């Protein structure tokens, strides 16, 4: 079903609003929300003045098409609305959704189904009377049976205190460019893997390699030199200096390390038969288009290291993607029984202070995880400054307060209730755009977020300008999780009453879907 143009009509002949007027309505809405949060009573006359000003700016009137009118029956209003504060005119509360009027709907039936009043529906949708039209889009509260979001202002979160590091087993993954014929080398990849066995969660935190820190016993330098300086001071001392550097600069304790060079990485990927990577962003420098790609070790290494057209932060994201792909491949190939043989065969490809027994235990627990129990984060642009050293090196200076806040937020016990609620939800994803394999990229992201994929394919057309997400009776908070996962605005959501639907969500991706968009 093509998405129809959003209409806020006062009656069947109401003039359409132009862009400037809609912008004014949005400003009015923001002011209204601020007033509601502060608990201030809304003065209706002030809203009327704003709306009158908006109407005076309207221009280029057009006539609405004339679908069949559906007149509300003269029935008493349903029970009073659960909405504690009367919403401002012509502006829906934040948690309301759009609903397309079906044959047989009346304002009374919609009010009853959605637990509100006819008067509230009229006020929010700018309706002067009880006439609604088949195919018309109206704002309604979330589906009956779900809880609307709290309208009271939320209190600022309390300081969670220090991170309970004793709850985590922290492993630092070090990917180096070390070669036998080179004296100097650097750590190309630094990822802290934190295992929370109590909560059954795994955290992946990327450390930017150009972070300028104080390396104990050496002085200020890039964090990716700590391993080298430790080895230069004492053979085998690199991981210990990395531990001290992370602890003293970022407050992150490290229990174990795994170090692997480029050839070792290639060997590991090849040993498991390659990995399937979701390439969200094309990389022209290595001739890689967006889509789903099966990569061998060398291709995966190029994908992990490329930054000619991107940045070190994006490279960190791709490195975490490869870790996820390795995990998924290991899960699909029943890797646990094969680990001892792989361990012996690959012993020369990596270094670690983990024993085979510890690796088997961690791997067994990891294989049991669902994708949404693996959380990822990075120290990114918001936590660093660009800086040029006196010798001309371009580095990143840490913003200590921002890094501390990011770590506390990341390692705090997450509320996984939305993930748990999303797990039973079934989603169909159709590609209505010309982006190749867009439905596969979207479905992979949704699966990792905990949703069940009930089918993918092409839509009836590849000319959808905007994405359409129809949802059928599930909690509105779960619908919000879908749009957040796909990095789309909430305006693409459409509630459709269909108890017989075999899926909870039907998604048609349009030209606005961009897997490469920033979260």
Q: What angle, 0 to 180 degrees and rounded to 10, lies between the N-to-C axes of helices 226-233 and 238-250?
A: 130
Q: pLDDT value at position 368?
A: 79
Instruction: Output the pLDDT for position 408.
Output: 92
pTM exceeding the 0.75 threshold for the entire prediction: no
At 425, list the tokens.
């939800």
Between 415 and 256, name the one with better pLDDT: 256
Check if the beta carbon of residue 191 is closer than 8 Å to that of residue 204. Answer: yes
Lowest-confidence pick of 16-20, 394-398, 454-458: 16-20
Residue matched to tokens 């502060």: 38
- C-alpha distances in angstroms, 482 versus 259, 334, 489? 37, 30, 10
Residue 436: partners with Cβ closer than 8 Å, 6 or more residues away: 289, 290, 291
Please, what's the largest Cα pairwise distance for the chain?
88
pLDDT at position 334 is: 73
Q: What integer pLDDT is reported at residue 420 of this predicted model?
A: 55
Instruction: Give the pLDDT mean for 110-119.
Output: 82
Q: What would the mean pLDDT of 116-132 be, rounded to a whole number?
A: 83
Lookup: tokens for 103? 């044959």
Three-state DSSP class for 150?
A: coil
Q: How much is the pLDDT for 74?
A: 37
Q: Supply 359's token pair.
A: 């690796």
Confidence of residue 93 (pLDDT cuts 50, 70, 90): confident
C-beta neighbour count of 148 within 10 angstroms:
20
> What local confidence, expressed as pLDDT, does residue 244 receive?
97
What is the helix (H) or strand (E) element at residue 242, kind and residue range? helix 238-250
Distances (CA, A) of 371 to 198, 324, 407, 429, 449: 17, 9, 21, 19, 7
Residue 260: strand, helix, or coil: strand
Please, which residues have CB within 8 angstroms of residue 516's CB and are 6 or more apart in sequence? Answer: 280, 281, 282, 290
pLDDT at 176 over 50: yes
User: Bigger pLDDT: 58 or 506?
Assistant: 506
The residue among 156 and 380 whose pLDDT is bigger is: 380
pLDDT for 457 beyond 90: yes
Q: Are 425 and 474 in contact (CB under 8 A)?
A: yes
Query: What pLDDT sits at residue 262?
Result: 86
Q: Give the model's confidence band at 28: pLDDT under 50 very low, under 70 low, under 90 confident, else very high.
A: very low
DSSP character for 139? Answer: E
Report percent pLDDT > 90 for the chain: 36
pLDDT of 72 above 50 = no
- Helical (H) or strand (E) element with 57: helix 44-57
Q: Averaged over 296-320, what is the pLDDT? A: 86
pLDDT at 498 (0 to 100)? 80
Cβ neighbours for 307, distance < 8 A, ≥ 6 positions apart: 314, 315
pLDDT at position 14, please? 42
The confidence band for 53, taking pLDDT boundaries of 50, 70 and 90, is very low
Worst-scoring range by mean pLDDT, 55-69, 174-188, 370-384?
55-69
Give residue 31's pLDDT band: very low, low, confident or very high (50, 70, 90). Answer: very low
Q: Do strands 493-495 and 468-471 pair parallel, antiparallel, or not at all (unpaired)?
A: parallel
Q: Tell me which range, 60-64, 86-90, 165-169, 422-426, is most confidently predicted by mean pLDDT.
A: 165-169
Residue 407 pLDDT grade (very low, low, confident, very high; cuts 50, 70, 90): very high
Average pLDDT estimate for 270-287: 90
pLDDT, position 410: 92
pLDDT: is 295 or 96 the higher one? 295
Distance CA 245, CA 250 (A): 8
pLDDT tens track for 134-161: 778 888 887 644 443 333 334 444 555 7
- Written as six digits, the tokens of 201 are 């969660």
Q: What is the mean pLDDT of the chain?
A: 78
pLDDT band at 213; cut points 50, 70, 90: very high
User: Tell me: the pLDDT tens digits for 318-341?
Assistant: 988 898 888 888 877 777 777 787
Tell me the pairing of strands 201-206 and 374-378: parallel
pLDDT greater than 70 at residue 441:
yes
Beta bridge partners of residue 195, listed in sequence order: 169, 202
List CB contacts of 146: < 8 A, sequence separation 6 or more: 474, 475, 476, 477
pLDDT at 302: 92
Residue 55 confidence (pLDDT): 42
Residue of higher predicted confidence among 59 and 490: 490
Determine the pLDDT at residue 413. 63
* 385-401 pLDDT per residue, tens: 999 999 899 999 999 89
Pick the closest to residue 265 from 304, 294, 293 (CA basis). 304
Whole-angstrom CA distances from 505 to 334, 428, 472, 492 are: 31, 6, 6, 12
334 exposed, middle or buried (CB, 10 Å; 0-12, 13-18, 19+)? exposed
Return the structure tokens found at 329: 């491949």
For the residues 130-135, what does the mean pLDDT come to?
A: 77
pLDDT at site 197 = 85
């Amino acid at each position: 079903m093509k998405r129809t143009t959003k209409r806020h009509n006062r009656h069947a002949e109401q003039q359409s609003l132009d862009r400037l007027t809609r912008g004014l309505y949005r400003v009015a809405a923001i002011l209204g929300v601020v007033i509601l949060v502060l608990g201030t009573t809304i003065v209706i006359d002030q809203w009327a003045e704003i709306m009158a000003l908006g109407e005076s700016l309207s221009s280029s009137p057009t006539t609405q098409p004339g679908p069949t009118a559906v007149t509300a029956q003269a029935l008493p209003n349903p029970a009073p609305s659960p909405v504690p504060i009367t919403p401002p005119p012509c502006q829906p509360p934040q948690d309301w959704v759009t609903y397309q009027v079906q044959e047989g709907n009346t304002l009374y039936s919609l009010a009853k189904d959605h637990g509100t009043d006819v008067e509230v529906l009229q006020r929010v949708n700018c309706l002067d009377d009880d006439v609604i039209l088949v195919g018309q889009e109206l704002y309604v509260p979330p589906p009956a049976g779900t809880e609307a979001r709290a309208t009271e202002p939320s209190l600022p979160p309390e300081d969670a205190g220090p991170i309970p590091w004793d709850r985590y087993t922290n492993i630092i993954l070090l990917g180096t460019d070390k070669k036998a014929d080179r004296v100097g080398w650097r750590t190309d990849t630094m990822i802290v893997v934190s295992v929370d066995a109590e909560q059954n969660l795994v955290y992946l935190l990327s450390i930017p390699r150009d972070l300028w820190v104080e390396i104990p016993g050496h002085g200020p330098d890039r964090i990716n030199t700590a391993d080298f300086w430790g080895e230069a001071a004492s053979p085998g001392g690199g991981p210990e200096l990395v531990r001290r550097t992370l602890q003293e600069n970022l407050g992150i304790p490290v229990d174990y390390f795994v170090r692997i060079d480029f050839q070792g990485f290639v060997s590991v990927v090849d040993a498991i038969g390659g990995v399937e990577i979701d390439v969200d962003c094309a990389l022209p420098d290595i001739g890689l288009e967006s889509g789903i790609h099966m990569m061998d070790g060398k291709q995966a290494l190029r994908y992990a290291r490329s930054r000619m057209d991107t940045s070190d932060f994006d490279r960190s994201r791709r490195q975490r993607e490869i870790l996820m792909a390795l995990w998924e491949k290991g899960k699909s190939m029943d890797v646990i029984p094969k680990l001892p043989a792989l361990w012996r065969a690959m012993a020369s490809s990596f270094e670690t202070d983990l024993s085979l027994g510890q690796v088997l235990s961690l791997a067994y627990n990891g294989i049991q995880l669902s994708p949404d129990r693996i959380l990822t984060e990075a120290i990114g642009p918001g936590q660093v400054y660009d800086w040029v050293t006196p010798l001309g090196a371009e580095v990143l200076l840490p913003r200590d307060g921002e890094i501390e806040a990011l770590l506390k937020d990341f390692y705090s016990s997450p509320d996984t209730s939305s993930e748990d609620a999303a797990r039973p939800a079934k989603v169909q994803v159709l590609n209505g755009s010309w982006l190749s394999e867009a439905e596969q990229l979207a479905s992979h992201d949704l699966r990792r977020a905990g949703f069940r994929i009930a089918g993918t394919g092409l839509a009836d057309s590849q000319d959808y300008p905007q994405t359409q997400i129809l949802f059928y009776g599930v909690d509105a908070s779960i619908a919000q999780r879908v749009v957040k996962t796909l990095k789309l605005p909430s305006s693409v959501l459409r509630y459709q009453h269909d108890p017989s639907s075999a899926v909870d969500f039907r998604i048609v991706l349009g030209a606005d879907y961009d897997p490469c968009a920033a979260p």
